[in-house]
């Protein structure tokens, strides 16, 4: 498994320390607002876990599942909602937690979809932002790390459903996906 990694981009320590900062930022911003934190399955699972664990303010959990990658490393551009929210978002403060903002197709789609449910507010919090690859006009409200245009795996991010279990974010060897 580990020999599929060309180099580590973000170590476990770097991720954990930045995630703690983001947790504190969210806690300060959403104090008294009882936000609903919505994780985007499956890639956001470790990020969602680490942001929410030790969150010092009351919050609710919910999850959606969206898919934009047919297979491989290129976004298909069309997003499918595989699982919708289970909670009533009307009048609530919502924060979407996602692993990465890349082309933007996924979060653009999810944002429009969730806004139809009339939340009081909706913000996007991503661990990684890859602005070079953006295809639609969308920005996240909270960003963990801005990264260059390289395909990364680990800490929830996958290639062909593998490598999500690494505690770090690493650059996948190009020969893995050019095979």
**Residues with catalytic annotation?**
102
Q: Which is nearer to ligand XMP, 116 or 161 (CB)?
A: 161
Rule CB under 5 A: say whether 144 interacts with Mg ion: no
| Beta-bridge mates of residue 81 | 66
Burial of 28 (0-12, 13-18, 19+ CB in 10 A): exposed
Size of the site for Mg ion (CB under 5 A): 1
Residue from 103, 110, 166, 176 binding ligand XMP (CB under 6 A): 103
Cα separation, 137 vs 115, whole angstroms: 16
Which of the ranges 7-15, 45-53, 84-92, 94-102 carries the binding residues for ligand XMP, by CB under 6 A?
94-102
**Residue numbers 22-81 binding ligand XMP by CB under 6 A:** 43, 68-69, 75
**Phi-psi group of 97: left, alpha or beta (phi > 0 → left; psi -120 to 50 → alpha; rest → beta):** beta
Residues 105-134 as x/- pattern, contact with ligand XMP by CB under 6 A = xx----------------------------
Residue from 36, 89, 157, 176 binding ligand XMP (CB under 6 A): 157
Rule CB under 6 A: say whether 176 interacts with ligand XMP: no
76 phi/psi in degrees, rounded to 5: -80, -20
Beta strands in the chain (DSSP E): 5-10, 36-41, 60-69, 75-83, 93-101, 121-129, 142-146, 152-153, 169-172
DSSP H or E run through 47: helix 45-52
Rule CB under 6 A: say whether 6 interacts with ligand XMP: no
Rule CB under 6 A: say whether 155 interacts with ligand XMP: no
**Residue numbers 33-62 binding Mg ion by CB under 5 A:** 43
Residues in contact with ligand XMP by the rule CB under 6 A: 43, 68-69, 75, 98-106, 151-153, 157-159
């Amino acid at each position: 498994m580990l020999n599929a990694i060309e180099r580590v981009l973000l170590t476990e320590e770097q991720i954990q320390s930045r995630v703690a900062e983001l947790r504190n930022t969210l806690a300060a911003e959403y104090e008294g607002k009882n936000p609903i934190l919505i994780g985007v399955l499956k890639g956001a699972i470790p990020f969602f876990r680490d942001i929410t664990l030790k969150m010092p303010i009351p919050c609710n959990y919910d999850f959606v599942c969206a898919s934009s990658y047919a297979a491989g490393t290129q976004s298909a551009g069309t997003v499918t909602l595989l699982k919708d929210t289970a909670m009533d978002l009307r009048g609530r403060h919502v924060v979407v937690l996602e692993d990465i903002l890349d082309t933007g197709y996924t979060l653009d789609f999810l944002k429009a979809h969730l806004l139809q449910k009339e939340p009081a507010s909706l913000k996007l919090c991503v661990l990684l932002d890859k602005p070079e690859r953006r295809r639609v006009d969308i920005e996240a409200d909270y960003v963990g790390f801005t990264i260059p245009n390289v395909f990364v795996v680990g800490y929830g991010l996958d290639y062909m459903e593998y490598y999500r279990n690494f505690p770090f974010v690493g650059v996948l060897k190009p020969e893995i996906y050019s095979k």
